[in-house]
Amino acid sequence: MKCPYCEHDDTKVSDSRDSKDGTSIKRRRQCQNCEKRFSTYEKVLKLDLEVKKSNGKVEEFNIQKIKRSLLKSCEKRPITLEQIENVLDSVLIDLKKVKEEHIPTQAIGKFVLKNIKDLDEIAFLKYAIVHNNYASMNEFMKEIDKIKDFKGITYRNKPQKK
């Protein structure tokens, strides 16, 4: 690992800690040349998974595509990058449990939706709009009704002006 300060190749690990969920490792390092300290994170970047697209094509799984779509869905919402990373970690955990050779994109989308549902309702709906490809406003309203029923939310109708 190169030192980010002096770019020397020889660094020493002084401390390693697993994340709470066991999906990453934080390492504290010290450069043997300039003696400055820095942290690195070790995380699985690639799973040996293949995704079956809706058009039948099969391609290599890419977590960055999910991250980009989550960032777009969470845009202008009170959601931190750390929360998005936690959602991605949860999706990866769900994907590791799948035994199929090719995972359909619909299944991946459902894992994402499952993991953002409790994070932010608006981000959930924004992601669902793209993922579920609603054909009409009625279909979309049914999804909103499901969320309202799940959360026990009731809305009062505003009185109409005469």
Question: DSSP string of 53-87?
Answer: -TTS-EEE--HHHHHHHHHHHTTTSS--HHHHHHH
DSSP state, 136?
A: S
| Cβ-contact 67, 108 below 8 angstroms | no
**Taking 50 as the threshold, does the pLDDT of residue 18 lie above it?**
yes
Please list the alpha-helical segments (H only) found in the chain: 63-73, 81-96, 105-116, 121-132, 137-151
> Taking all residues of the chain, what is their mean pLDDT, rounded to a whole number?
85
pLDDT of residue 83: 95
| Cβ-contact 61, 105 below 8 angstroms | no
pLDDT in tens, 104-145: 998 999 999 999 988 998 999 899 888 888 888 888 888 778
Confidence grade of residue 47 (pLDDT, cut at 50, 70, 90): low
Cα(155)–Cα(61) distance, rounded to whole angstroms? 41
Phi-psi label, residue 38: left if phi above 0, alpha if psi -120 to 50, beta otherwise: beta
Q: Once rounded to an integer, what is the mean pLDDT over residues 49-73?
A: 92
Cα(43)–Cα(81) distance, rounded to whole angstroms? 16
pLDDT of residue 142: 84
Cα(157)–Cα(151) distance, rounded to whole angstroms? 18
**Taking 70 as the threshold, does the pLDDT of residue 44 lie above it?**
no
**Taking 70 as the threshold, does the pLDDT of residue 154 lie above it?**
no
**Taking 60 as the threshold, does the pLDDT of residue 159 lie above it?**
no
Judged by DSSP in three states, 20 sits in coil
**Could you give the percent of the chain with pLDDT greater than 90?**
48
